[in-house]
Chain A
């Protein structure tokens, strides 16, 4: 069975400060990992993904995540956040083939204060 644990339900931070949103996973097969972002009153948008290759993946708006197989983690980081980064962030674990039913974490609410 697969599982995803987002260790923090809420992360408050001041603008221009660095942030890390933590995600740990459990799986017995090869994994594909994703971070989605949900802005208020909107659907989920794919932020970045790890499929294979380089363990460090980046998004277009300054976020990055590092796949760490030994620690079974896929933490999301940004060196300097903006007010506009305030959103809900979901970590998701995918598995290859079949019907593809990904496993989602429960989400982390990032709240950026001025």
Chain B
């Protein structure tokens, strides 16, 4: 258990509304990631962070923004939710030393955009 929590765990929202998902970790990990999981696509990286205020885009970043003002929190914002953003969102941290790393995942947030 890498001490990762996500909130909310479930959310239903309407098209066009802003949505913010929160990832919280308690073990001072520098790297944090946001993924979405969709049937047939596996996991796709949205954004990641390599430190406070340091973020970068993943392969499916359009329509999403992130912020990291504290080490422990990594926020994912959908500025104007669309039905194509209905998905399960996972946060992950990176752990490891010596050039080899592994990821640990949070429990996920199931988002439905109606």
Contacts and interface: CB of A to CB of B under 8 A. Distances in A.
Interface residues of A, number: 24
A42 B99 contact: no
Interface string B6-36: 0000000000000000000000000100000
Q: How would you classify the secondary structure of chain B's contact residues: helix, strand, loop or mixed?
A: strand
Contacts of A104: 42-43
Q: Would you call the interface of chain A mostly helix, strand, loop, or mixed?
A: loop
Interface stretch (B68-76, B79-87, B104-112): B104-112
A99 B48 CA distance: 9
Contact of A100 (B31, B106, B107): B31
Interface string B30-69: 0100000000111101001010000010100000000000
B31 A43 contact: no
A51 B98 CA distance: 11
Interface of A: 9, 32, 34, 36, 42-46, 49, 51, 90, 92, 94, 96-97, 99-102, 104-107
